[in-house]
Amino acid sequence: MTEKSHKSGYAAIIGKPNAGKSTLMNRILGSKISITTHKAQTTRHQVVGIYSDENTQIVFLDTPGVITPKYELQRAMMNTVNRARADADVLLFIFDPTDKHPTKEVIELLKSINKPTILVVNKMDRVKNELGEQKADEIEDKLSISSTHFVSALNGEGITELLEDIRSYLPSGPPFYPKEDLSEHPVRFFVSELIREQVYLQFQQEIPYSCTVDIVSYDADIDIDRISANIIVNRKSQKGMLIGKGGKAIKQLGIEARKAIEDFIGKKVFLDLHVKVREKWREDENWVRNLGY
Residue numbers in the known binding site are: 15-22, 62-66, 122-125
Query: Do residues 65 and 80 touch, judged by C-beta distance below 8 A?
Result: no
Query: Do residues 35 and 131 touch, judged by C-beta distance below 8 A?
Result: no
Helix axes 248-265, 187-202, angle to 10 degrees: 140
H or E, element range at 72:
helix 72-87
Q: Using CA atoms, how far apart are residues 224 and 70, in angstroms rounded to an integer?
A: 41
Q: Which letter does DSSP use for residue 107 in this model?
A: H
Torsional class of 205: left (φ above 0), alpha (ψ -120 to 50), beta (otherwise): left
Burial of 44 (0-12, 13-18, 19+ CB in 10 A): buried
Residues tagged in the binding site annotation for GTP: 15-22, 62-66, 122-125
Q: Using CA atoms, how far apart are residues 260 and 211, in angstroms rounded to an integer?
A: 19
